Amino acid sequence: MPIPLTVTTPSDLEVEITRVFEAPRRMVFDAFTKPELVKRWLLGPPGWSMPVCEIDLKVGGKFRYEWRNQDGRSMGMGGIFRELAAPGRIVHTELFDEDWTGGETKVTTIFTEKAGKTTVAMTVLYASREARDGAMGTGMTRGMEDSYARLDEMFAAKT
């Protein structure tokens, strides 16, 4: 059974992704910040690899990620570290080369450890609500939740 991933919208401009990992915080922090480790999991859909992964882990330091798939398509993203408090907190900016997020996003990643497990909470702050809704489709989820709640009521009434 995969461990569940939660996606929530703490404000109009943000999306938060939360996930628990069965490992101590320092190890999870390393897996998020050491290029040789990041390269092994941050790959996206099946068939993609990460030939470029450069991380200069210091405040003001840059990072650069590039992915490639079997068909030769490529995708790139880069950003700058704004705050660092290892192994608990990272704040960085990021921007995809294709800019499908409507401008730069600011990402805050918080690592908390409890009983040997680490919770990672990643909050992505978008430039505008439209950018967030467009990038994540959250406007739709909210609308759909309403529709589904009503459908649930309808089905409950029928049975």
Partner 1 sequence: MTPIDRLDATFAALADPTRRAILARLALGEASVGELAEPFAMSQPAISKHLKVLERAGLVSRGQDAQRRPRRIEGKPLAEAVGWLENYRRVWEGNFQRLDALLDELKSAKNRGRSKR
Q: How far apart are CA 113 and CA 116, in angstroms?
A: 6
**31 is a site residue for partner 1 (CB under 8 A):** yes
- Minimum separation from the CB atom of position 134 to partner 1 (A): 5
Question: Who's near 47: CB < 8 A, 6+ residues apart?
Answer: 69, 70
- Minimum separation from the CB atom of position 123 to partner 1 (A): 14
Q: How far apart are CA 125 and CA 31, in angstroms?
A: 22
**85 is a site residue for partner 1 (CB under 8 A):** no
Q: How far apart are CA 55 and CA 47, in angstroms?
A: 23
**60 is a site residue for partner 1 (CB under 8 A):** no
99 and 122 in contact (C-beta within 8 Å)? Answer: no
**155 is a site residue for partner 1 (CB under 8 A):** no
Residues in touch with partner 1 (CB under 8 A) = 2-3, 5, 7, 17, 19, 21-23, 27-28, 30-31, 37, 40-46, 129-130, 133-134, 136-137, 139-144, 146-147, 150-151, 154
